[in-house]
Structure 1
Amino acid sequence: MQKNILKSGIELSEIGLGCMSLGTAYDHAESIIERAIEHGITYFDTADIYDKGVNEEIVGKALKKYQNRDDIVVGTKVGNHLQQDGSTFWDPSKKHIKSSVKKSLHRLGLDELQLYQLHGGTIDDPLDETISAFEELKQEGIVQAYGISSIRPNVIRYYLEHSDIETLMSQFNLIDNRPEALVDEIHAHNVKILARGPVFKGLLTANSNQALDNKFADGIFDYSYQELGETIASVKEVENNLTALTFNYLQSQNALGSIIVGASSVEQLDENIENYKAAKAIGVDQLKAARERVKDLNYTQHLQ
């Protein structure tokens, strides 16, 4: 599988496993992780908040046997402060970040973390304090690289200009193409995009009609329900395999680091890998034709 390299030298498989959907049954989750490794996936994305930390424990346990492999990369995220009653509040403070990384390392069974990301953020955060927390973790050898997960242009631009982030995780797919407006800036700072939501809640899969009815009945962004259905039908005239098409679209972005696919079953993961392979057969003209049939979306909030 294609590997994309961060500026620290960390290599990410071009398909990464989003672990949030693994569930809490260990044997089931382990079977998906094992199949991912068989397919050449070496990047595993989790967060301290997923299943209140259980997800990190499962990922760590399943990957323990591979700790001697230099190519296995685990990334986790921080910022949502879990309270004893199960509720959370946003906490990008240095104290919380430096305390939480120790807990994540313990659950993952690691001595150091390859990639640590801020799990959200606003322009009103104590941005420089947050950045200094990640920088200190790097200097202390606890974290190799850090990044952010955000769809807020003002936050993204601040981190691009004032930090040494290596990754930006953001929803990105053929329909939600808003990150296109930032790709050149991201690439200029040698930052890699981790594209989450590549199949857009099932809309860009073979089950697109079902997803449209169940999840997009009120439309989304600049699309009404009817417009979205008509757009999907039009794109299918160019390429019927919508998942392969959106994978190809993401691969065409020069800042791509990894396409993060979720999988709640081995079969679902296998299907994603087959579509990833099929994406290579889609030509430039075909992709261009498909892209012309969807709207150019732009961020409308959090611009300043």
Structure 2
Amino acid sequence: MTARTLDLAGHRATRMGFGAMRLPTEPGDTRAASIALLRRVVELGVTVVDTAHMYGWGANEELVAEALHPYPEGLLVTTKTGVERRPDLPDGAIYNGSERFLRAQVDEALRRLRAERIDLLQLHRIDPEIPVAEQAGTLRDLRDEGKIGHIGLSEVDVEQLTEARATVEIASVQNRYNVLDREHEAVLDACTAEGIAFLPWRPVAAGNTGAAAPIAEVAAELDATPTQVSLAWLLRHSPVMLPIPGTASPAHLAENVAAADLELSDEQYLRLSGVG
């Protein structure tokens, strides 16, 4: 039977988290619906909520706090920094791993999340202009000062993960990964070997998994949806896997959470493993 929890940042976390990126934050009925959905996340027993400064440039963090603060015992709210808004540039943003920026953004995240400490702070992207050890060292110092509990990385390769771990303990990695997109398999293997939680973003290939015949077939056999089958495959694929599917739909939220109870047979798992 697939384990239902894992240790993450000092929490015994459910292995199906929630990514808040998709939630509308503008005032009015859509914001009220977002708040209601976040509260439903907690009601369904999910214990990991993922946000980031880049999601609305702080608006998503403020939404999470409005919905969930004071945070229930056992709930882990994780956020990310390391991307700076730059409307003057074509992409509208740049990676920034400087000590000045990371420190300022951690202080801002603490304010927006109404928290005294961020239990898991993930570096959203490695700044290619600054040594990995220097960026990891800044986060280590913030941890030692009590502003961060644990440190994670996002969109890293094995070499970058190894470099960061030479400076500070790494609790999590958040890379793009799903049954159809396994570019970061080597990173997942490294995390599995070291017991580092792996939080795949885009865990269901933006809903396109149903187009793959083996996934659709297994879904029919289990009276489940392709999305549920894809999430169940992730949970079976590695014991450190903790998907964070995001949605603004209460029905899809319930569907995603229910995927944690879906058991694949050995044959079904191997069949799905041959898809990617």
* TM-score interval, smaller chain: 0.7 to 0.9
Per-residue CA deviations over 1:30-63 (Å, capped at 9, x if unaligned) read 1111111111011110001111211111101111
Q: For 1:127 and 1:253, how far apart are their aligned partners in 2?
A: 29
Where does the alignment leave 5 or more consecutive residues of structure 2 unmatched? Answer: none
Which 10-residue stretch deviates more, 181-190 or 34-43? Answer: 181-190
Q: How much has 1:99 moved relative to structure 2? A: 1.1
Secondary structure of the residue aligned to 1:36 is helix
Letter in 2 for 1:80: V
Matched, 1:141 2:146: yes
Q: For 2:230 and 2:255, how far apart are their aligned partners in 1?
A: 14
Letter in 2 for 1:19: A
Counting aligned pairs with the same residue, the percent is 25
Paired position in structure 2 for 1:92: 97
Paired position in structure 2 for 1:201: 206
**RMSD of aligned residue pairs (Cα, Å):** 2.2
Change (3 A) 1:253 1:124: farther
Change (3 A) 1:251 1:60: same
Q: For 2:187 and 2:57, how far apart are their aligned partners in 1?
A: 32
Change (3 A) 1:151 1:128: closer
Paired position in structure 2 for 1:20: 21
- 116, 121, 131: which is aligned to 1:111? 116
Change (3 A) 1:239 1:84: closer
Paired position in structure 1 for 2:126: 121
Paired position in structure 2 for 1:218: none
Q: For 2:129 and 2:94, how far apart are their aligned partners in 1?
A: 15
Q: How much has 1:124 moved relative to structure 2? A: 4.8
Matched, 1:78 2:68: no
Q: For 1:106 and 1:83, how far apart are their aligned partners in 2?
A: 22
Q: For 1:52 and 1:284, how far apart are their aligned partners in 2?
A: 43
Per-residue CA deviations over 1:68-88 (Å, capped at 9, x if unaligned) read x33011100011112476932
The TM-score normalised by the length of structure 2 is: 0.87
Paired position in structure 1 for 2:36: 31
Where does the alignment leave 5 or more consecutive residues of structure 1 unmatched? Answer: 210-231, 296-304
Secondary structure of the residue aligned to 1:22 is coil
Q: For 2:10 and 2:38, how far apart are their aligned partners in 1?
A: 24
Q: For 1:257 and 1:121, how far apart are their aligned partners in 2?
A: 22
Matched, 1:158 2:200: no
Q: How much has 1:243 moved relative to structure 2? A: 1.9
Q: For 2:162 and 2:140, how far apart are their aligned partners in 1?
A: 18
Letter in 1 for 2:84: H
Secondary structure of the residue aligned to 2:208 is coil
Secondary structure of the residue aligned to 1:40 is coil
Paired position in structure 2 for 1:288: 270
Q: How much has 1:244 moved relative to structure 2? A: 2.4
